[in-house]
Structure 1
């Protein structure tokens, strides 16, 4: 079976939903600390190399992945590295299920085009883009809640998940749950398109590498695909995070000097004017450190879970 045929043809719809949900659940728990560190660094606007910019800053100054982790543990305890994990776990489970289901459905639909069927790489890109867009739009409020909880310092902005939903609904209305959604869609469409295109291209070759035991060819392909795709769209990811913490609680997070941003284009222009091009890539290193294992764990777990579910169904039928 070729790479282009792989994810779309294996498993029933129910098996794909379950395997995608399991993959999202396990992946999220493993990379939660890196996700919190990434969000903190993305929201930090003062320069790491210019001490003058730190003057008058009300909040911590983070420098690097490990030092940020140590600072969070020291100031907020070990649980600080898992802030926002409940909405994030809910998001990853739903996202994984929707993503793999949409990917499978889109590629099967494209296969029905006959002579008009796009080339394998284009098919993977289109299917990945559709899958990412559907999953992001459906789970975006959970993504916003994850960001806001991760941005909280020792002083809690929201006391619980229920309280956060009620406060946002009361103070910001329904649009408050979708702050930055346009940046998220603009980011995820090319990201998931590039990711699945690269993954489908690399997986068949890496699956034959004897130096990669226990099916880790799936994981390795996921790592390469994720690093390439994440680097290409990272500025939009940073803008999404800045927009997600706008609103009446903007000055109450661990970084209390987050500027007021209005819209994707205006946000990018403001960042470029005040922080330069480097400002659009704050947190890229930890983002790659997070994205690589997250994609590796996701794809490896998905392949293993789908295989296990198929075997269980065969066993149950006999």
Structure 2
């Protein structure tokens, strides 16, 4: 196996990987929260190509571009609105980061050993990275999806508070929508994350050894590899992310979010058809620019923090063993 692909899989113990992944998720989430809120607002915005009044008589788009959205949110809701949904999002990133890295490391080790593959065949390093990344993304997405849904719903709230608190939102969704209500859009989430994480880890493991040979400040080769890998992967699967967001805000309060003209969507395929019919291909990529802007610092901070925390843990454990 190549040195770059082997490095991430052989670093540290499982406990170190879990801690490093969790810390990386928490730090990156706080940093990019404002961009995430802007992205969600743009993705949920409906603007019909054929009807200038759009849906339910709302004239034109509320937000225009990343900067325009930022200004509108600050003007109408204040700076704290840029961190709406941050509590469930922090919990999401905490659980997602640790689950993702642990699953990726464990799966990679299993595949690389050949013990559980037919005829003890050891796949190509690229195949190992893709399969491990896709499986890690699927496991992490499914187990943490309710938190992702809550993050989206809180970020979609305007000045009108639909949910008073995290606990009340859980109670209300369970009461009026049942257990399936927490998993609205999961199909789109899994369909998106499988190719995204597979492509991300494949690209990251490929780019990491190349970037490490460049003279970048502060040892930022890991960050640069994370940025490039994320941009390429995110662009490829972005339409499914939009579908997921539109499905997540379905339910009894659909008309009370900041965008009160969100249509009724049913299923992934039905949502795609409705968006294409009403908004065209552009509707599938609404918010892509801010998403790419968000994914760059997210991946950079995540991978850089992960590698640094792992190094600190190994150093600390080494000092403890030396005593």
* Corresponding residue for residue 123 of structure 2: 118
Please report how far the alpha carbon of residue 56 of structure 1 lies from its aligned counterpart in structure 2 after TM superposition: 2.8
Please report how far the alpha carbon of residue 39 of structure 1 lies from its aligned counterpart in structure 2 after TM superposition: 0.2
Contact 1:31 1:293 in 2 (8 A): yes
Say whether residues 1:25 and 2:26 are aligned partners. yes
* Corresponding residue for residue 5 of structure 1: 6
Counterpart among 169, 172, 175 of residue 174 in structure 2: 169
1:242-257 maps to which residues of 2 (within 5 A)?
A: 242-257=246-261
Please report how far the alpha carbon of residue 51 of structure 1 lies from its aligned counterpart in structure 2 after TM superposition: 5.7
Please report how far the alpha carbon of residue 48 of structure 1 lies from its aligned counterpart in structure 2 after TM superposition: 9.3
Contact 1:60 1:255 in 2 (8 A): no
Please report how far the alpha carbon of residue 66 of structure 1 lies from its aligned counterpart in structure 2 after TM superposition: 1.1
Contact 1:157 1:252 in 2 (8 A): yes
Say whether residues 1:287 and 2:291 are aligned partners. yes
* Corresponding residue for residue 242 of structure 2: 238
After TM superposition, the runs of 4+ consecutive aligned structure 1 residues lying more than 2 A away are 47-56
Please report how far the alpha carbon of residue 106 of structure 1 lies from its aligned counterpart in structure 2 after TM superposition: 0.3
Counterpart among 187, 197, 203 of residue 198 in structure 1: 203
CA distance in 1, matches of 2:56, 2:15: 55
Please report how far the alpha carbon of residue 53 of structure 1 lies from its aligned counterpart in structure 2 after TM superposition: 4.3
* Corresponding residue for residue 15 of structure 1: 16
CA distance in 1, matches of 2:321, 2:228: 38
CA distance in 1, matches of 2:200, 2:179: 31
Please report how far the alpha carbon of residue 117 of structure 1 lies from its aligned counterpart in structure 2 after TM superposition: 1.2
For the residue of structure 2 that corresponds to 1:214, the secondary structure is: helix
Contact 1:206 1:217 in 2 (8 A): yes
> Residues 255, 59 of structure 1: CA spacing in aligned structure 2 closer, same or farther, 3 A cutoff?
farther
Counterpart among 124, 130, 136 of residue 131 in structure 1: 136
Contact 1:58 1:255 in 2 (8 A): no
1:241-271 alpha-carbon deviations (Å, 9 max, x no partner): 0000001010010000000000001110111
CA distance in 1, matches of 2:284, 2:137: 22
CA distance in 2, matches of 1:96, 1:85: 15
For the residue of structure 1 that corresponds to 2:57, the secondary structure is: coil
> Residues 305, 11 of structure 1: CA spacing in aligned structure 2 closer, same or farther, 3 A cutoff?
same
For the residue of structure 1 that corresponds to 2:251, the secondary structure is: coil
Say whether residues 1:226 and 2:230 are aligned partners. yes
TM, length-normalised to structure 1: 0.96
Instruction: Tell me the C-alpha RMSD between the 2 structures.
Output: 1.7
1:70-108 alpha-carbon deviations (Å, 9 max, x no partner): 110111110000000000000001100000000000000
CA distance in 1, matches of 2:12, 2:188: 33
Q: Structure 2 stretches of 5 or more lacking a match?
A: none
CA distance in 1, matches of 2:292, 2:267: 25
Counterpart among 191, 199, 212 of residue 186 in structure 1: 191
Please report how far the alpha carbon of residue 55 of structure 1 lies from its aligned counterpart in structure 2 after TM superposition: 9.1
